[in-house]
């Protein structure tokens, strides 16, 4: 009974917040106001509060721009968490655009939708990402290309790191900053979350969305560590694959430390 009351309360608060904020976001998108970058952060902080997601931030996000954040991806909650921490835009696969609810939210946040299978479109998509970064937006890339079980980082796909290279000529310093971020779900109901319970937070591709969303709402108490690592400077002569390898190594190290409850360097 208490769980369903929590779900009802969360639903009401989310509905009211959406009714109040979405019209302003639509106007901000229509007229390209800077407000369009800030409102999603407010909305996602409300969502995290309603879902009982407690966020702990380790390290600092880079202040230099242009900036690309590269994070591991285990759940749709990653979007909520990272958006609650900073004013960001996401690189998402084109299928997300047509998803119920989440597709609408992604469009409201002005996500960049990419078609990875069609190489002829890669240049245009990378150009859009580069332009957004050059304009001062913080872009989030999930380089795994899919969601994991939350216990590890999958193999990283280096292709979209090319967007960082395309943003280099527009950077005042001739450098683009690429920073690794680890998102680790470490607690549930105040207790450490081990491998057995991590599926409560993770959302691998073979799990249906609505049952998983219902379980998350009923649970209502997650702890997540967001770890910002040492950034890489991407310049005109930087090798894209070297950057992807370095970023992957740093994400893996931070994720492993967070999941084991160790101090994160």
* Polymer length in residues for the chain: 265
Give the pLDDT confidence score for residue 200 in this predicted structure. Answer: 74
Q: How confident is the model at residue 2 (pLDDT cuts 50, 70, 90)?
A: low
Q: Is the separation of the CB atoms in 84 and 41 below 8 Å?
A: yes
Residue 239 CB coordination number (10 Å): 12
Mean pLDDT, residues 41-61 taken together = 93
pTM over 0.85: yes
Rounded to a whole number of angstroms, the distance between the first and last alpha carbons of the chain is 42
pLDDT at 215 over 90: no
Q: What percent of the chain has pLDDT over 90?
A: 47
Residues whose CB is less than 8 angstroms from the CB of residue 197 and which lie 6 or more positions away in sequence, other chains included: 188
Q: How confident is the model at residue 210 (pLDDT cuts 50, 70, 90)?
A: low
Give the pLDDT confidence of 174-199 residue by residue, as tens digits. Answer: 899 999 999 999 988 778 887 777 77
Give the pLDDT confidence of 85-117 residue by residue, as tens digits. Answer: 999 999 888 888 888 778 898 999 999 888 765
DSSP H helical segments within the chain, as ranges? 2-30, 35-51, 77-85, 102-108, 122-134, 162-167, 209-219, 240-259
Phi-psi region of 45 (alpha: psi -120 to 50; beta: other; left: phi over 0): alpha
């Amino acid at each position: 009974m208490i769980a369903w009351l929590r779900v009802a309360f969360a639903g009401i608060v989310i509905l009211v917040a959406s009714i109040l904020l979405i019209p302003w976001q639509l106007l901000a998108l229509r007229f390209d106001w800077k407000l369009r970058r800030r409102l999603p952060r407010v909305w996602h902080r409300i969502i995290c509060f309603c879902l009982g997601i407690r966020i702990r931030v380790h390290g600092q996000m880079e202040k230099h721009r242009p900036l690309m954040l590269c994070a591991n991806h285990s759940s749709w909650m990653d979007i909520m968490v990272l958006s609650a921490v900073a004013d960001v835009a996401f690189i998402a696969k084109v299928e997300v655009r047509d998803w119920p609810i989440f597709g609408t939210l992604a469009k409201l946040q002005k996500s960049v939708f990419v078609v990875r299978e069609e190489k002829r479109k890669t240049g245009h998509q990378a150009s859009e990402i580069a332009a957004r970064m050059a304009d001062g937006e913080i872009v989030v890339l999930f380089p795994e290309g899919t969601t994991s079980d939350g216990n590890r980082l999958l193999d990283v796909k280096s292709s979209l790191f090319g967007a960082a290279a395309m943003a280099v000529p527009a950077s005042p310093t001739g450098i683009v900053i690429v920073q690794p971020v680890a998102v680790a779900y470490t607690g549930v109901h105040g207790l450490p979350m081990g491998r057995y319970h991590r599926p409560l937070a993770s959302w691998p591709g073979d799990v249906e969305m609505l049952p998983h969303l219902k379980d998350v709402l009923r649970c209502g108490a997650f702890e997540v560590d967001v770890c910002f690592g040492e950034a890489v400077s991407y310049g005109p002569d930087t090798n894209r694959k070297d950057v992807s390898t370095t970023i992957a190594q740093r994400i893996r190290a931070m994720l492993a430390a967070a999941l084991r409850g160790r101090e994160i360097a």
